[in-house]
Amino acid sequence: MSKDLTVVVLAAGGGTRMKSKTMKVLHRIGGRSMVGHVLTAVRAMEPRRVVAVIGTQREQVGPHILEHLPEAVLAVQESLDGTGDAVRVALEALGGQATGTVVVVTGDTPLLRGESLRAFAEEHDAAERAVSILTGKVPDPFGYGRIIRNAEGDVEGIVEEKDATLEQRDIDEINSGILAFDAAFLREALGGLTNNNAGGEYYLTDTVRIARDAGLTVGAHLLDDVKQTEGANDRVQLAALGRELNRRVVREAMLAGVTVMDPETTWIDADVVLEPDVTILPGCQLLGATLVREDAVIGPDSTLKDCEIGAGARVVRTHGELAVVGEGATVGPFSYLRPGTTLGAAGKIGAFVETKNAQIGDRSKVPHLSYVGDAEIGTDSNIGAGTIFANYDGTNKHRTTVGDRAKTGSNNTFVAPVAIGDDAMTGGGTTVRRDVPDGALAVSAGPQRNLPDWQARKKVREGDA
């Protein structure tokens, strides 16, 4: 493939059928925006230049594109006068730098793969064409531009749905909207476009007719996996693409050595990394940049976003975000790991435990019914059931530290800031307001009082009433 490659990403349309304040290409599936998926595919081509055409809600779209691809050039299409006008704006933004091959892609095709674009561009270069069209065959071509071929099978043009005859509408080979051009031809052809059509727009696809009239080579690259070129114009189509993308991601994970017990109830974002021999049980969502190491078991019924799960760990019926679970550790069921949680190797966060900004050391345990917020727990310590790390004084958050090998009783409250030393213990029901030295026992409850004959006296009082 030519190293002199420019890619134009069309992302100017508003997508009114989404009925949303969010620009169409910014709607998300599989953990990325639609245009984010496209930019990932474009990056895989290793182009020399990328220019993105923005228009509607440019203040949202432009920064988002630069977040994914900082080297991209942004070109603003002030008036949405068609794809031909959009590409003209793109080339003008490059100031004549576009030479060699120009590939034009649309920003709402989230299933698009980099290897498909590379194969398309390589074929275009090898055939030395003026124009190449990425095409596919679909059972229902409604809404797509149709590929017009002559009796010999050569491509003669593309006709848009609104301009097609009844006979042409029966053609099942469609234009994906992704085209490749010789840059010199494209610059010249854009100047010859007119908007004399049913849409009153400048169609980029009219360059095919211009090339044919000039006796230049035009060809089509038929993509077997035509779903890669599907876009979403409304939320129904977006959901369908999301399901298809997830099916592909889950399938790739299984082929790479991951056990997914129920693919139908498992959702895995595109940027999730799963090592071989991970097991995913039913009802799980692995989102964002989550990483799961080998032999870990996730689920059932767990949602993890931007989490790192260590080798051999077990996470059951848990919601976690921006958390780290160490090797061989166990979490759940019904645990809530909030951002900043780190659980050490072989540690435990048990049933109905919530953690936030908490570092829990190797082999330490918070078994059940506790809140651990803004805390640091050393190694080999055990936090009793029903313990509350009271981190908020009404104005500021404060930290609690628990040393190594500490054992705290049930129904404790640690009023931060407070420190519990190594090998220290606390009694059941203790409220810890002052630091506990190493090896000490802290208790705060008074001595137990037993009132004899309480039930008999209670019955006498109730009888008097």
Residue-level pLDDT at 1: 52
Tokens of 83: 């794809």
Residue-level pLDDT at 9: 98
Q: Residue 44 belongs to what H/E stretch? A: helix 34-44
The rounded distance, in Å, linking the Cα atoms of 366 and 360 is: 9
Active-site residues: which are they? 368
Count of alpha carbons within 13 angstroms of residue 133, beta-carbon side: 30
Average pLDDT over residues 50-66: 96
Q: What is the DSSP letter of 57?
A: B
The rounded distance, in Å, linking the Cα atoms of 324 and 335 is: 14
Of 199-203, 279-283, 364-368, 394-398, minimum mean pLDDT range: 199-203
CATH class of 235-442: mainly beta
Mean pLDDT of the chain: 95
Average pLDDT over residues 160-167: 89
The correct answer on CATH 1.10.10.10 for the domain covering 5-229 is no
Give yes or no for residue 463 having a pLDDT over 80: no
* CB-based contacts of 194, cutoff 8 Å, min separation 6: 202, 206
The residues spanned by each domain of the chain are 5-229, 235-442
> Amino acid letter at 396?
N
**465 — pLDDT class (breaks 50, 70, 90):** low
Find out whether 394 and 411 touch, Cβ atoms under 8 Å.
no
Count of alpha carbons within 13 angstroms of residue 333, beta-carbon side: 4
Can the peptide bond before residue 333 be classed as cis, meaning omega within 30 degrees of 0? Answer: yes
Closest CA to 180 of 248, 126, 113, 244: 126
Of 183-187, 237-241, 378-382, 452-456, minimum mean pLDDT range: 452-456
Would 5-229 and 235-442 be classified into the same CATH topology? no
Of 15-24, 359-368, 398-407, minimum mean pLDDT range: 15-24
Residue-level pLDDT at 464: 67
**204 — pLDDT class (breaks 50, 70, 90):** very high
| Whole-Å CA distances, 73 to 48, 60, 417 | 12, 15, 51
- Phi and psi, residue 182, nearest 5°: -70, 125
Residue-level pLDDT at 199: 83
Average pLDDT over residues 131-141: 94
**98 — pLDDT class (breaks 50, 70, 90):** confident
Q: Is pLDDT larger for residue 14 or for residue 165?
A: 165
Residue-level pLDDT at 152: 85
Average pLDDT over residues 27-32: 97
Average pLDDT over residues 160-183: 93
Give yes or no for residue 433 having a pLDDT over 90: yes
**pLDDT tens-digit readout, 356-382:** 999 999 999 999 999 999 999 999 999
Q: What's the CA dihedral at 371, 375, 380, 384 to 10 degrees? A: -30
Residue-level pLDDT at 2: 59
Of 2-16, 311-325, 371-385, minimum mean pLDDT range: 2-16
Beta strand residue intervals within 172-305, DSSP E: 173-182, 218-222, 259-260, 267-268, 273-274, 279-280, 285-287, 291-292, 297-298, 303-305
Residue that has been written with the tokens 């069209």 in this structure: 133
Find out whether 78 and 141 touch, Cβ atoms under 8 Å.
no
